Structure 1
Amino acid sequence: MALRSQATAKKAPPPPRPIRLPSTTETTTSSGLKVLAAERGPLPLVSIRLVLHAGSITDPKDKEGLADFTVRLLRRGTETLSADAIDEAIEFVGASLSGGVSEDLMSLYVTTPAEHFSSMLAVLGQIVREPSFPEKEVELARERTLAQFANDLDDPDTITSRAFNRALWGEHPYGHDVGGKAAHVRTFTREDLVRFHRERIGPQTALLVVVGAVKPEVVAAEAEKAFAGWAPAEQGTPVAVPTVARMAQAGKVILVDKPDQTQSQVRIGGPGYRLGHPDYFAAAAMNIVLGGGFTSRLVNEIRVERGLSYGVGSYFDAMSAAGSFAISTFTKTASTREIIDVALAEVAKMRTGGITPRELKTAQTYLAGLYPLRTETNESVASVIADIRVYGLGEDWVEKFRERLHAVTAKQVKEAAAKYLFPEPPVIVVLGRAAEAKKLLKGLGPIRVVPVSEYA
């Protein structure tokens, strides 16, 4: 009897599991604070995120860094709790409390066991409603901040990023470092903090997001207790931030002189897009191919083929009103010009030729696989919920993320490349030994040499 060979059909891989956020319940406290609660198990933990429209764009002109300084002082005492008492209350229950500032927002984060949710929310309520800003704590914070600025001068990466930000944005509200500058921090007083708190920190500028093992009705009741009587901020309307079509130093080279350097730090940049822009998906796929992944074109040409640097990458930095696109790398001083030329050549290839279907597929698969990590923990879910609401991303942002990503075409990627990959000459910032590097940079644009001390 003859044996018959039978081809076994390959089973198609199962479709990816849908990504969905837990349902949210919205309430408003009597003080006007909007509250979003999402019950999520099974772990008995709760993540609390309070975001306020009090980012660095709200810093007074002569007080750059004040928002960042303020958020660090909020937990250093209230009208009824000392800094030590706040620390002890948090540590005793195994919770954590931290805060930070971006260009657009001030944020406070609490992670706590569910059984201590009420007491930790009460602590958060106290520090934002009635901080005392003790004079001694203000002095200590000022000294620590100034010491950090001094230390930063020995960190080429930090100083280059600071110089690059100023070169990109100039006098635009995004143009100063979130942490400010030493000359301004030296002038900070307790009265500055009190005024900033009174003017910028209030319920109508805030959103509270609670995710974890707690019922929405409990969240609403406890939020009412914790934030009752919170006085409105005097300047409660979010700052109107202008859009940007051209960067401040477009077509120019800023050379930050650090004579002890044997390497050059390099940044190349231009305009990007705002958060929530429709170009996001096409631009994200394009960037993964260009320089956003370890197998990207920039990595291959600069690291693998030429050995010019161990590290190179490209990225979009998107904020509420505008954004930037940039390339970041470093190399030995002698190859400063070569690494810039190679990077710009790869940009030009991408801008004129786009990407291949295979590259697009790989980028889509990578980004689609990475995105579910944003919804793995209570903290990440709270972050996404806050972003959706604050930046108007749309309630279906998470659910349709992969669908929109996979709908991107090679034509759309090429259009995004033409739009964002330096259609006008970019800003170039180099930190290194100016005596050697300056002659290598001729022909890239007008060169301005700046001492490293300018960025303290």
Structure 2
Amino acid sequence: MATRAKTLKKKAAPARKAAPVKKAAPTTTGALTLPTLHESTTSSGLKVLAAERGPLPLVAMRLVIRAGSATDPADKHGLADFTARLLRRGTARMSADELDEAIEFVGASFSVGSNEDILSLFITTPAEYFPDMLSILGQLVREPSFPEREVEQSRERTLAGFSNDLDDPSVIADRAFTRALWGKHPYGHDVGGSTAHVRTFTRDDLVRFHRERMGPRVSLLTVVGAVSPQRVAEEAEKAFAGWEGGPEAPVELASGDTVATGRVIVVDKPDQTQSQVRIGGPGYRLGHPDYFPATAMNIALGGGFTSRLVNEVRVERGLTYGIHSYFDAMSAGGVFGISTFTKTETTREIIDVSLAEVAKVRQGGIPAGELKKAQRYLAGLYPLRTETNESVAAVISDIRVHGLGDDWVEKFRERLLAVKPKQTVEVAAKYLFSKSPLIVVLGRADAIGKQLKGLGPVTVVPASEYE
């Protein structure tokens, strides 16, 4: 279980001049170039990264807080995501309508997102309004008001959404897969929570989560665009001075190397004519050295449009319109999984064919010619991640938050293209179901139960359990 950090209760630090800006070495690689990073820290302890980048007069800001769903209280699953979405609904100085008007009036855009490890706030604005929008970003995290009416309305909308989810078999299958894989680990619930938990949310819960989990010492502000690093440091000091709360360091999660294997979960949904199928087992954590060989291997296996799984399951046998394999890496662990769907009658066939293709790669890796195609495919896509200020801000913050190393972009294609066939054999042996995988099937239990004999102990659960 996660180690709960102590809440800090101290007086607000007095405002002071922005800390000196430190310049980091520029990172470049052929056609890929990231602007020079400049680092500073506000009086409240918020780390700031600034990267001046033109020629367009736009600025992108990303504030990352290490308070994702893995930090949800045990009886309040979904609280991190819920709190993040309510930040926009009012501050001590501005109502929700005033916030909307201020952002839209200058042609800026705002969004918020969350996952298991972090929650993020994005603002993109014309450069001339950068100070105003950064000030609003500061208000959102320093002094959200969480109006009671907004909390009630958001709770009702969220609960209605859960009810609607029951009509989407793919969503329910994913939710069941996550629970079965991770069990009681902090990763073992949907980021958005569940009906049983969200129904209990109160304004006090949001206020407490904000105070205990969202603070400057577990946050990182990244600013990319047409603004000088010195000005970024100065305006960040103004916007975030006095921000208090949150832990001294990110919550340390238990190792995620205990992902479930060898079980079969049937999610019973009697009205279905198709089966949603999920197959999975242990993967690797973010920043793991196996990333490059495993990624190259997976592109060939099931991560690309011309992969083995797509060819064998969709093209050759016509069992589905879509199938893919993937690695889902998080700070404390990860998963290797396969996601697909098929007619009820061919449920066992699609599982057997998929597992057979996985077994071929586990036994022999990826041959040199096939590997080279996969490497070139991914190397060609990667530059798209550095085209806009928003994408650059996202890449930079991910590199720092997850400890990927400042040369991640610079060396990405070099490291990817350096992967050899023997390395794909090694990672395949590690991650491609060396133990019997976990299998989750959503569909008609009475029609698919008999098909699943021999795959492992079978448990049948009604779909309503995943609302």
Normalised TM-score (structure 1): 0.95
Partner residue, 2:454: 443
Shift of 1:19: 1.7
Unaligned residue ranges in structure 2 (runs of 5+): 1-28
**What is the aligned residue count?**
439
Deviation, structure 1 residue 367: 1.0
Partner amino acid, structure 1, of 2:302: G
Deviations 1:18-68 (A, max 9, x none): 422110100011111100000000011110000011100110000000000
Query: 2:359, 2:87 → 1: CA distance?
Result: 48
Q: Which residue of the partner structure matches residue 134 of structure 2?
A: 121
Aligned to 2:313, the other structure's residue is in SS state helix
Q: Which amino acid aligns with 1:306?
A: R
Aligned positions of 1:210-249 closer than 5 A? 210-233=223-246, 235-248=247-260
Matching of residue 323 in structure 1 with residue 342 in structure 2: no
Distance in 1 separating the partners of 2:362 and 2:292: 17
Q: Displacement of 1:283 after TM fit?
A: 0.3
Structure 1's unaligned 5+ residue stretches are: 1-15
Q: In the alignment, which of 26, 46, 58 is matched to residue 71 of structure 2?
A: 58
CA-to-aligned-CA distance 1:274-295 (integer Å, 9 cap, x gap): 1111000100110011000111
2-structure distance, mates of 1:341, 1:246: 25
Task: Give CA-to-partner distance per residue, 1:281-330, whole Å, 9 cap, x none.
Answer: 10011001100011110011101110000100000000111000000000
The answer (yes or no) to whether the contact 1:255–1:429 under 8 Å persists in 2 is: yes
Question: Contact 1:246–1:270 (CA<8 Å) still a contact in 2?
Answer: no
Q: Counterparts of 1:18 and 1:95 in 2: how far apart (Å)? A: 29
Deviating above 4 A after TM superposition, structure 1's stretches of 4 or more consecutive aligned residues are none
Give the letter for the 1:113 counterpart.
P
Kindly indicate whether residue 354 of structure 2 is the aligned counterpart of residue 339 of structure 1: no
Q: Which residue of 2 aligns with 1:7?
A: none
Name whichever of 84-93 and 352-361 sits farther off: 352-361
- Please list the CA deviations of residues 72-116 of structure 1 after superposition, one character each: whole Å capped at 9, or x if unmatched: 101101111000000000000000111111100011000101011
CA contact (8 A) 1:160 1:266 kept: yes
Q: Within 2, Cα distance between the matches of 1:237 and 1:57?
A: 15
Q: C-alpha distance in 2, partners of 1:214/1:163?
A: 46
1:33·1:207 contact (CA, 8 Å) conserved in 2?
yes
1:188 to 183, 189, 201: 201
Q: Over aligned residue pairs, what C-alpha RMSD do you find?
A: 0.8
How far apart, in 1, do the equivalents of 2:330 and 2:238 lie? 33
Of 178, 185, 188, the match for 1:172: 185
Tell me, yes or no, if structure 1 residue 296 matches structure 2 residue 304.
no
Partner of 2:42: 29
Q: Hey, what's the Cα distance between the residues in 2 that align with 1:205 and 1:294? A: 38
How far, CA to CA, are the matches of 1:323 and 1:35 in structure 2?
29
Q: What is the CA–CA distance in structure 1 between the aligned matches of 2:400 and 2:315, rounded to whole Å? A: 42
Q: Normalised by the size of structure 2, how large is the TM-score? A: 0.93
The CA distance in 2 between the partners of 1:129 and 1:144, in whole Å, is 25
**Match for 1:389: what amino acid?**
R
Give the conservation status (yes or no) of the 8 Å contact 1:129–1:227.
Answer: yes
In 2, the alpha carbon distance for the partners of 1:270 and 1:307 equals: 26
Superposition map of 1:131-146 within 5 A: 131-146=144-159
What SS does the aligned partner of 1:308 have? coil
Q: Kindly state the Cα deviation for residue 427 of structure 1 after the two structures are TM-superposed.
A: 0.5
Indicate the residue corresponding to 1:305 in structure 2: 316
Match of 2:440, SS state, is strand
| Contact 1:18–1:399 under 8 Å retained in 2 | no
- 1:10 aligned residue: none
1:205 alignment partner in structure 2? 218
1:238 Cα deviation (Å)? 1.2
* Structure 1 counterpart of 2:271, one-letter code: D
Compared CA separation, residues 102 and 424, structure 1 to 2 (3 A): same
Matched position secondary structure for 2:223: strand
The aligned amino acid for 1:347 is: V
What SS does the corresponding residue of 2:453 show, helix, strand or coil? Answer: coil
Question: 1:190 & 1:392 partners in 2: Cα distance?
Answer: 34
Q: Is the 8 A contact 1:121 1:222 kept in 2?
A: yes
